[in-house]
Amino acid sequence: MKAPFIWDKYSDQPYPLKDKAYKKLMRKKHVWAYLPLFFTNIVLFPLSILLMPFFKGKTVDKENFYGMGVDLDKGEVQIALIEELGVQHLLMRMPLWEMHRIDTYVDFAQSFGKDKTILLNILQDREHIEDRALLVKDIETIFEKFGSFVFEYQVGHAINRTKWGFFSMEEYLGWYEAIQKIRDSQYPQLKLIGSSVIDFEFHYTIRTLFNLFRVKYDRFSSLLYVDRRGAPQNRQMGIFDTKNKINMLYAMVKMSPKSSNDIYITEVNWPLSHTAPYAPTSELECVSEEAYSTYMQTYHTIALQTRKIERIYWHQLIAPGYGLVDDRDGKIRKTEAFEAYKRMLHHANI
């Protein structure tokens, strides 16, 4: 990543932008994008709430419901851990600022074996947002290198967080549209997944689902964290526990002409207590390993019971601050949640 965007190696995400002058300049540049965001939401946000009880779910394949995030820099030990868990669906990141390492990423993806299905998450940076020619060149390279064995691509990540590079939903939609044109003309067999809004900020989700851009999501993705509310059953805005957040998300997708009705939750976890600087939030939001394990199981159960989520990718396998395995000091320590996740998959396959 290039300044003012800086990567935090502990929490595996960019640091919040500290250059206030740059943020102010960029927000001013995109100020007109707030108008369609407002007018789209003034109608569709309340309408989604009203209609969400009327959209019923569908049969979900429980055996293919579980997915896990893996990371190149966490090492080959992940191969044995994935085999132990028994998970077949993996999410792997491909940062556009690391195109010089793409062959290493390809080798890593293939190291898990041909029986695994991989969703490749294309991570944006500001350089590839602003330089359309560079974007086209590198997306063509990614599709060429991965396209023979990876058939699903999440286009973008946490697009409503400026630290990840986008300053408006309009900017993201134009970016997705450019990538879709490459897919449509050269790689029609590949599936594109968006829009990857993080947290319960559905006003941004609505804008990515209702617009005049020529975009189509083959599957819809949400990074549906509920960690700041504690347990998955806890509510936000009076009625929005995890179940109703999923119900509203499904209603929006059903109403939109821009997406299929298949939804992936592509990132969720809880931050772990006493793991700073690895935890991605403050200690106030962190939970014990025991609570983490309980919340993880409850979250999956709630999502399954709605029959509105096709798959959940847990974020992620190895991460001291929020994962199933702690690798500090070069030692692999499986948490209580690791064993609980293994049991969930075992029961799903019975």
- pLDDT over threshold 80, residue 202: yes
What pLDDT, in 10s, does the model give residues 259-289?
999 999 999 999 999 999 999 999 999 999 9
Label residue 242 by pLDDT band (50, 70, 90). Answer: very high
Query: In this predicted structure, what is the pLDDT of residue 93?
Result: 98
Query: In this predicted structure, what is the pLDDT of residue 349?
Result: 77
Query: In this predicted structure, what is the pLDDT of residue 228?
Result: 84
Tell me which residue of 314, 319, 343, 315 sits closest to 332, measured CA to CA: 319
Query: In this predicted structure, what is the pLDDT of residue 347?
Result: 85
319 CB-side CA count, 13 A: 28
Please indicate whether residue 243 or residue 350 has the higher confidence score (pLDDT).
Answer: 243
What pLDDT, in 10s, does the model give residues 145-165?
999 999 999 999 999 999 999
Looking at this protein, which amino acid is placed at residue 211? N
Query: In this predicted structure, what is the pLDDT of residue 123?
Result: 98
CA dist 23 and 43 (Å) reads 29
Q: Are 300 and 311 in contact (CB under 8 A)?
A: no
Query: In this predicted structure, what is the pLDDT of residue 339?
Result: 97
Q: Which residues of 115-136 are buried (b: 16+ CB within 10 A; e: fewer)?
A: ebbbbbbbbbbbbbbeeeeebe
Label residue 333 by pLDDT band (50, 70, 90). Answer: very high
State mean pLDDT over 110-125: 98
Three-state DSSP at 312 gives strand
Label residue 348 by pLDDT band (50, 70, 90). Answer: confident
CA dist 235 and 224 (Å) reads 14
Walk me through the domains of the chain, giving residue ranges and CATH numbers: 18-54+63-348 (3.20.20.80)
- Write out the E strands in the chain: 7-8, 13-14, 66-70, 89-95, 117-123, 152-155, 191-198, 219-223, 263-265, 311-314, 325-326, 333-334
CA dist 333 and 2 (Å) reads 34
Q: Are 67 and 267 in contact (CB under 8 A)?
A: no
Residue 110: is the preceding peptide bond cis (ω within 30°)? no
Q: How distant is the alpha carbon of residue 188 from its chain centre?
A: 23
- pLDDT over threshold 70, residue 350: no
State mean pLDDT over 32-48: 97
Query: In this predicted structure, what is the pLDDT of residue 32?
Result: 96
With 0.95 as the threshold, say if the pTM is over it.
yes
Query: In this predicted structure, what is the pLDDT of residue 346?
Result: 87
Strands 333-334 and 66-70: unpaired
In sequence order, what DSSP letters do the residues of 50-117 get, joined into one string?
Answer: HHGGG-------GGG-EEEEE-GGG-THHHHHHHHHT--EEEEEEEGGGGGGHHHHHHHHHTT-TT-E
- pLDDT over threshold 80, residue 247: yes
Please indicate whether residue 349 or residue 263 has the higher confidence score (pLDDT).
Answer: 263
Mean pLDDT of the chain: 97
273-279, long-range: CB within 8 Å, 24+ apart, which pairs?
A: 275/320, 275/321, 275/322, 275/326, 276/321, 277/8, 277/10, 277/11, 277/321, 278/10, 278/11, 278/319, 278/320, 278/321, 278/322, 278/328, 279/11, 279/321, 279/322
- pLDDT over threshold 70, residue 180: yes
Residue with tokens 């290198």: 145
- Write out the E strands in 141-251: 152-155, 191-198, 219-223
CA dist 90 and 75 (Å) reads 15
Looking at this protein, which amino acid is placed at residue 312? I
Three-state DSSP at 152 gives strand
Quick one: what percent of the chain has pLDDT higher than 70? 100
